[in-house]
């Protein structure tokens, strides 16, 4: 940190002595963990007037989880060492004068969800993976080599085009829809698969589910069964009811889309099969069920505070990919705790995204996904506009976050009637009573500041007016900061102070809920 201070000439009143200890005199703009020896886990130098290249001394901050260098005047290229900082989860380089191309390792981490990378606001920075590095003009005294360079460049360009054409053709052969039509007295069979090695018919679906032996769920699209492929892969087989299909065209289009949408925090569609009146979607099997089940008072295994924050981050990463990583963006339309599933490692993944447009059943009492969403999670603006958009998903996510914080469902039912979770929690927030807000089953095992931060993030998601809600990428950024604070605190601050030291401003948020949730 002394090297960083010297490189940029940072002048701050308390940047003296050890950056982390004593804790009451730790340097502003950074956070430390105190589990064993003090380590810097978060560094925020946003809007600090930094100029020049990104300092190599930053690479020595190996415990940093979050690094914010945004809104400065940093120039030069994005150094590769930023992709190799072992603890890095959040990197904000937006609003600078960086140029050149972003290292492929950073782009890969952003794509797989392991790094929240912000690089907007650098007009000369190439953010794609097909950047052409600008060459320094080459001259040789007395000899003109421009014609030679031009010829070589042309050959390279044509060669590259040929290679790209071959690669693209192979991708089309492997990924494109393969449809087989078999005429019979009963109708036709259509099967879409990802590769030539996969092929599911109705008979094979019956086989992998052991004649539909184990039902693991039921929703608006039909029953869900446990299955096992020949190679031992466990799957969830969703058999679609006839009433839930709008038609083959819609089904075909939507399934094609879902099979090419891949992210670590989205449940993967492995295959689908349509044979006469039997249609099946085959998903990866999620061993630990859904979040709603884990938050239930009947579940003896209580999710820890850090687990809840990580689930929120996982879900936000999946949603951020749907909103900003897909072209066109995918709006979930029915985001809720039953649609957030957990694998064997308790990693959260969003399910049933992209289905609402192709599969609709307005008369199904067990409806899982529909354009109007689910009571308790539905965007209040839907009742006036009739439209759902990305900010509608953000509202639903805010309700989910409150469920994770409080342990209560979206609609709290009691002998006196039903209460929406926002109606229940708002008076407690106004009183600053965090002790009554956070799930009592945690027995105070959480950091006060982290809990309040989570409450504030949730509140920012649920204003009645969509324009007041943040984008999901901002929510994700703040959640990662929240988890960083929890990790860095060493859980040193517990329930001894149930009141927030500074007032929580409620007046700036126009919070309301849909009438159906009252």
Across 446-479, b (16+ Cβ under 10 Å) vs e yields bbbbbbbbbbbbbbbbbbbebeebbebbbbbbbb
Question: Which residues, in sequence order, are bridge partners of residue 224?
Answer: 217, 238
Inter-CA distances, 202 with 55, 98, 189, 277, 282, Å: 60, 55, 9, 10, 12
Q: Identify whether the C-beta of residue 248 lies closer than 8 Å to the C-beta of residue 276.
A: no
Rounded-to-integer distance, Cα 388 and Cα 374, Å = 12
Provide CB contacts within 8 A for 65, sequence distance 6+.
41, 42, 87, 88, 89, 90, 480, 484, 487
Cβ within 8 Å of residue 320, ≥6 positions away: 472, 473, 476
Residues 377 and 487: their CA atoms lie apart, in Å, by 30
- Strand (E) positions, 30-175? 30-33, 39-44, 51-52, 66-68, 73-76, 90-92, 97-101, 116-118, 124-126
> Exposed, middle or buried: residue 292 (CB in 10 Å: 0-12, 13-18, 19+)?
middle
| Burial zone of 69 (CB within 10 Å; 0-12 exposed, 13-18 middle, 19+ buried) | buried
Q: Specify which residues 91 forms β-bridges with.
A: 67, 117
Whether the upstream peptide bond of residue 397 has omega within 30° of 0, thus cis, is no
**Local structure of 247: helix, strand or coil:** coil
What sections of 34-131 are H helices per DSSP?
A: 104-111
Nearest to 239 by CA among 209, 210, 266, 262: 209
The single residue of 314, 334, 352, 439 carrying the catalytic annotation is 334
Catalytic residue at 334?
yes
- Secondary structure letter of residue 290 according to DSSP: B
Local structure of 456: helix, strand or coil: helix
Distances (CA, A) of 240 to 93, 105, 210, 279: 45, 40, 18, 5
The DSSP string of 112-134 is: TTS-EEE-TT-TEEE-SS-PPPP
Catalytically active residues are 334
């Amino acid at each position: 940190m002394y090297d960083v201070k010297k490189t940029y000439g940072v002048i701050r009143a308390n940047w003296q002595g050890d950056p982390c200890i004593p804790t009451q005199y730790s340097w502003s703009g950074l956070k430390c963990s105190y589990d064993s020896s003090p380590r810097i886990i978060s560094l925020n130098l946003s809007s600090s007037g930094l100029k020049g290249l990104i300092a190599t001394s930053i690479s020595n901050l190996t415990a940093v989880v979050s690094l914010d260098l945004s809104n400065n005047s940093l120039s030069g290229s994005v150094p590769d060492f930023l992709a190799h900082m072992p603890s890095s989860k959040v990197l904000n380089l937006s609003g600078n004068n960086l140029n050149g191309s972003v290292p492929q390792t950073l782009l890969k981490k952003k794509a797989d969800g392991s790094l929240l990378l912000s690089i907007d606001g650098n007009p000369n920075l190439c953010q794609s993976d097909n950047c052409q590095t600008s060459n320094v003009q080459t001259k040789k005294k007395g000899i003109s080599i421009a014609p030679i360079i031009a010829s070589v460049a042309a050959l390279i360009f044509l060669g590259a085009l040929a290679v790209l054409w071959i690669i693209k053709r192979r991708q089309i052969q492997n990924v494109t829809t393969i449809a087989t039509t078999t005429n019979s007295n009963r109708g036709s069979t259509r099967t879409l698969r990802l590769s030539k090695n996969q092929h599911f018919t109705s008979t094979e679906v019956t086989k992998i589910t052991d004649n539909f032996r184990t039902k693991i769920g039921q929703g608006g699209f039909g029953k869900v069964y446990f299955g096992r492929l020949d190679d031992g892969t466990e799957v969830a087989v969703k058999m679609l009811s006839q009433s839930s299909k709008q038609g083959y065209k819609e089904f075909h289009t939507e399934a094609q889309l879902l099979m090419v949408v891949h992210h670590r925090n989205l449940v993967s569609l492995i295959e689908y099969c349509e044979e006469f009146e039997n249609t099946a979607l085959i998903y990866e099997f999620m061993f630990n069920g859904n979040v709603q089940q884990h938050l239930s008072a009947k579940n003896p295994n209580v999710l820890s505070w850090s687990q809840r924050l990580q689930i929120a981050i996982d879900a936000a990463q999946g949603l951020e990919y749907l909103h900003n990583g897909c072209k066109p963006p995918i709006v979930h339309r029915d985001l809720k705790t039953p649609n957030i599933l957990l694998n064997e490692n308790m990693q959260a993944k969003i399910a049933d995204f992209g289905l609402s447009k192709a599969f609709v059943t307005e008369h199904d009492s067990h409806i899982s996904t529909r354009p109007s969403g689910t009571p308790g999670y539905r965007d209040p603006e839907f009742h006036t506009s009739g439209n759902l958009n990305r900010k509608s998903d953000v509202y639903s996510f805010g309700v989910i976050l409150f469920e994770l914080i409080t342990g209560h469902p979206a609609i709290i039912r009691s002998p006196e009637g039903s209460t929406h979770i926002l109606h229940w929690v708002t008076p407690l927030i106004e009183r600053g009573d965090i002790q009554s807000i956070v799930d009592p089953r945690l027995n105070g095992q959480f950091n006060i500041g982290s809990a309040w931060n989570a409450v504030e993030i949730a509140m920012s998601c649920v204003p009645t007016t969509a324009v007041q809600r943040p984008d999901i990428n901002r929510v994700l950024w703040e959640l990662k900061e929240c988890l960083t604070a929890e990790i860095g605190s060493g859980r040193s601050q517990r329930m001894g102070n149930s009141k927030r030291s500074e007032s929580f401003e409620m007046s700036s948020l126009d919070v309301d809920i849909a009438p159906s949730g009252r």
